[in-house]
């Protein structure tokens, strides 16, 4: 058994999901060669980081990420801080020879992402980006079915990610959680925060996105900055819609907003092929729906597959057929897959390089919306 000593930076929502992932591994994936050890956690507020370390079982804490990276008892740095810190931390961690697990999106801009990829490639360090939804069993099952060729030629892919938490003009920009509204910290709005998930899943399932035509809107034009109290112009996209061509000739349609009253995290996708279609909805995350045209015509129709059986992805690790798991398990699975990739000396998808392809689409989407033009993405999907 080898130990992977984790240094986690950032104690917000993602810091908790990742810490939970590391903590569950030994119980449910006991046969992996590598075992994570929660060596240190880092955040600027000493009182909070100390409490976080105690709550999640970290052996120590730091209040300066540079000090954490300088430690020689850390093997892997996990970046859970706002997007404007990803590049600086990842580049420094790569130079220090650490493995890196970085929260999505990889970066604020394509240029930043390219620097990050250069740094990890020069250092030759293992890396992955937390596009967690791929690792929900029903989504992984969709990938298996699509790769088996059952759908035949693909015609359409559509996805949306809808929320409603920024409708009030009183939500500040900047600060814990609400940094997602501050363009300086986030890079973009729903495009980088929500559509990036949809784009990552879409390209994983259906291949590269060739070109895009997008529109964005900023519904609330001014907000108060949480730290300074000053009124500021809002620079993010509150909503974004785009359509696209995939490399395989299919058409794509994507929509995201944080202004869909009633929707908290409605992520859905659907893919339509010549012989069959699949659809999935995060609010019913263990179901994969399928229409198979080769079914006998008298029983042909959409069926709901409850993904809990031991033969289905990841499910042999959990309870017994019929009993479900949840959102948090996507992070447990990503930890397990990362550890397995170390064991096999293989990349853990999505790597920084793959996440950069998603970044290319995000950048083309924003560019297309700003210039009211179709844009080539330059994506080179493996």
DSSP codes of every residue in 276-341: EEEEEEGGGTTEEEEEETTS-TTT-SEEEEE--STTSTTGGGSS-TT----TTHHHHHHHHHHHHH
Per CB under 6 A, which of residues 124..163 are in contact with ligand SOE?
Answer: 163
The CA-atom distances, in angstroms, between 200 and each of 2, 61, 179, 237, 299 are 31, 33, 22, 19, 34
Omega cis (within 30) before 350: yes
Tell me the number of residues near ligand SOE by CB under 6 A.
4
173 vs 277 by CB, closer to ligand SOE: 173
In the complex, what is the shortest distance from the CB of residue 279 to ligand SOE, in angstroms, rounded to a whole number? Answer: 19
- By CB under 6 A, residue 193 contacts ligand SOE: yes
Angle in degrees, CA 201, 159, 173, rounded to 5:
85
Least distance to ligand SOE from the beta carbon of 105, Å?
Answer: 9
Question: Cβ contacts of residue 279 below 8 Å, gap of 6+?
Answer: 268, 269, 270, 271, 288, 289
Please give the radius of gyration of the chain, using alpha carbons only, rounded to the nearest integer. 21
Shortest Cβ 180–ligand SOE spacing (Å): 6
Give the nearest distance from C-beta 267 to ligand SOE in angstroms. Answer: 8
112 part of the interface to ligand SOE, by CB under 6 A = no
Query: What 3-state class would DSSP assign to 104?
Result: coil
Instruction: Please report whether residue 237 would count as binding ligand SOE according to CB under 6 A.
Output: no
CB of 298 to ligand SOE, least distance (A): 41
Q: List binders of ligand SOE among 309-328 (CB under 6 A).
A: none
- Start-to-end Cα distance in the chain: 33
The full 3-state SS of 169-227, as one line of letters, equals: CCCCECCCCHHHHCHHHHCCCHHHHHHHHHHHHHHHHHCCEEEEEEEEECCCCEEEECC
Q: Name the residue number minimizing CB distance to ligand SOE.
A: 193
106 forms bridges with which residues in the sheet?
none
CB of 238 to ligand SOE, least distance (A): 13
Write out the binding residues for ligand SOE, residues 257-276 only, by CB under 6 A.
265
- Least CB distance to ligand SOE at residue 26 (A): 25
Q: Which CB, 16 or 225, lies closer to ligand SOE?
A: 16
Choose among 58, 63, 100: nearest CA to 79: 100
Where along the sequence are the contacts to ligand SOE (CB under 6 A)? 163, 193, 197, 265
């Amino acid at each position: 058994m080898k130990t992977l000593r984790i240094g986690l930076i950032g104690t917000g929502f993602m810091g908790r999901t990742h810490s939970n992932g590391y903590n569950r591994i030994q119980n449910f994936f006991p046969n992996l060669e590598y075992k994570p050890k929660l060596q240190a956690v880092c955040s600027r507020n000493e009182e909070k980081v100390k409490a976080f370390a105690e709550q999640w079982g970290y052996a120590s804490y730091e209040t300066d990420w540079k000090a954490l990276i300088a430690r020689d008892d850390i093997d892997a740095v996990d970046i859970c801080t706002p997007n404007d810190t990803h590049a600086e931390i990842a580049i420094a961690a790569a130079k220090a020879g650490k493995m890196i697990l970085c929260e999505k999106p990889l970066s604020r801009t394509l240029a930043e992402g390219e620097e990050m990829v250069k740094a990890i490639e020069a250092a030759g360090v293992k890396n992955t980006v937390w596009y967690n939804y791929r690792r929900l069993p029903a989504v992984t099952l969709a990938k298996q079915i699509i790769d088996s060729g059952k759908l035949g030629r693909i015609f359409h892919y559509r996805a949306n990610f809808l929320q409603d938490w920024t409708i009030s003009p009183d939500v500040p920009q900047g600060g814990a959680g609400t940094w997602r509204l501050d363009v300086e910290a986030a890079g973009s709005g729903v495009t980088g925060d929500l559509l990036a998930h949809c784009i990552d899943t879409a390209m994983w399932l259906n291949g590269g996105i060739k070109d895009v035509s997008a529109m964005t809107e900023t519904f609330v034009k001014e907000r108060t900055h949480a730290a300074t109290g000053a009124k500021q112009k809002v620079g993010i996209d509150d909503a974004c819609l785009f359509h696209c061509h995939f490399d395989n000739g299919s058409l794509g349609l994507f929509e995201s907003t944080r202004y869909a009253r009633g929707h908290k995290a409605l992520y859905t996708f659907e893919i339509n092929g010549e012989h069959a279609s699949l659809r999935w909805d995060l609010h019913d995350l263990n179901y994969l729906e399928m229409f198979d045209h080769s079914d006998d015509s008298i029983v042909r129709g959409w069926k709901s597959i409850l993904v809990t059986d031991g033969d289905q992805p990841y499910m042999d690790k959990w309870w017994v057929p019929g009993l479900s798991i949840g959102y948090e398990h996507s992070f447990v699975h990503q930890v397990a897959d990362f550890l397995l990739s170390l064991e096999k000396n293989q990349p853990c998808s999505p790597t920084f390089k793959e996440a950069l392809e998603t970044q290319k689409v995000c950048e083309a989407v924003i560019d297309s919306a700003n210039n009211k033009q179709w844009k080539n993405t330059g994506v080179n999907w493996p």
